[in-house]
Amino acid sequence: MSTESRKPMAPELLSERIHDRLEQHAAEEASVEKRLSTLELCGPIALKRLIEVAEGHSGQSHHCRRILLAVYNGSKWPLELTRLRCLDRDLQRGAIILIEWSAYSGRELHEYLENGDHLMNRFWETESCQGGES
């Protein structure tokens, strides 16, 4: 048997590469879909937790309000990543989940809340009165 008869033909190689790439793409899509499903479950929990803290009067409340406002209106309230360092680990994870969820959500996050726009406006006013508007 000659070595030429054992070599795969160019169309066979191409077909194998296409098949491998399609399998890889399907695995990546499944991973993304799993992450989106997780975000749909965890996002609302993180949002409620951050709001709960934001309604308080502590330093963490201030930073939670600013993170929520950054998600609400990033052009007026840019996200300062150093704010994450001011939060405890649980709130840091919640903020990161919230930010990621907001990137994939088909709606504005305040729309998931009853009177969400009113709540965000109240946080806006609180932060503006503290001289915090950027």
Percent residues over pLDDT 90 in the chain = 60
For the whole model, what pTM was predicted? Answer: 0.76
Neighbours of 27 (CB within 10 A): 10
Tell me what pLDDT residue 3 has: 53
Averaged pLDDT for residues 110-126: 95
Tell me what pLDDT residue 134 has: 44
**Which of 1-15, 25-39, 107-121 tops mean pLDDT?**
107-121
DSSP labels, the chain: --HHHHSPPHHHHHHHHHHHHHHHHHHHHHHHHHHHHHHHHHHHHHHHHHHHHHTSSSHHHHHHHHHHHHHH-TTTS---THHHHTS-HHHHHHHHHHHHHHHH-SS-GGGGSTTHHHHHHHHHHHHHHTT---
Per-residue model confidence as pLDDT tens digits over 61-108: 999 999 999 999 999 999 999 999 999 999 999 999 999 999 988 889
